């Protein structure tokens, strides 16, 4: 998987190039819905890890609350690797939402995405097994990747 961080020409926090495996396909020849969520996860994990050690508590404590996916076109194996662009849609005291635009490898960066999605992530105190508040450092990191 290749990635690009903070490209000035794009309003995204992170763009991952995620390869499509043959096992990601369904009987109809396009990427299976459940596998699309897995491909989004691969991109999201790469982004969170790229944030660096100072954000390790955010990375290790974020859990998915909701996932929303809307398909606007089919994606197939020939579209590999997928270009998965991400940004922060918003955050509150205990959670944040990541936005995604997913395109074929051959699609122009400003073209209509084949898939748009979001994941709401809550931060948890692992030891106490309850929600925790985002720290000021975490909020600052998330704020720099917001997109209007």
Give the domain CATH number at 63. Answer: 3.10.129.10
Q: How far are the Cα atoms of 7, 85, 110, 125 from residue 20, in angstroms, in the given order?
A: 23, 16, 21, 34
Angle 27-29-32 from CA coordinates, rounded to 5°: 70
* DSSP state for residue 130 in the 8-state scheme: E
How large a percentage of the chain has pLDDT more than 70? 93
0.85 exceeded by the pTM? yes
Contacts with 128 (C-beta within 8 Å, 6 or more apart), sequence order? none
Specify the number of domains making up the chain.
1
Calculate mean pLDDT across residues 43-72.
Answer: 89
CA 106, distance to chain mean position in Å, is: 20
Q: How far are the Cα atoms of 62, 68, 128, 135 from residue 124, in angstroms, in the given order?
A: 6, 21, 8, 12
Q: Are 116 and 102 in contact (CB under 8 A)?
A: yes
Q: What is the mean pLDDT of the chain?
A: 89
Looking at per-residue pLDDT, the higher value among 42 and 148 belongs to 42
Domain span at residue 86 reads: 2-144
pLDDT digits (tens, 9 = 90+) for 79-134: 999 999 999 999 999 999 999 999 998 999 889 999 999 999 999 998 999 999 99
Rounded distance between C-alpha atoms, residue 16 and residue 66, angstroms: 21
How much is the pLDDT for 8? 41
């Amino acid at each position: 998987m290749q990635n690009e961080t903070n490209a000035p020409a794009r309003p995204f926090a992170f763009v991952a190039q995620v390869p499509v495996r043959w096992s990601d396909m369904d009987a109809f020849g396009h990427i299976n819905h459940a596998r699309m969520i897995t491909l989004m996860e691969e991109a999201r994990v790469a982004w969170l890890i790229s944030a660096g050690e100072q954000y390790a508590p955010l990375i290790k404590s974020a859990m998915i609350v909701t996932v929303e996916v809307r398909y606007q076109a089919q994606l197939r194996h020939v579209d590999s690797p997928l270009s998965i662009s991400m940004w922060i849609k918003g955050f509150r005291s205990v959670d944040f939402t990541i936005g995604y635009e997913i395109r074929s490898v051959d699609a122009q960066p400003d073209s209509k995405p084949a898939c748009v999605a979001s994941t709401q992530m809550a931060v948890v105190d692992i030891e106490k097994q309850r929600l925790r508040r985002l720290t000021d450092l975490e909020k600052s990191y998330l704020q720099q990747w917001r997109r209007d």
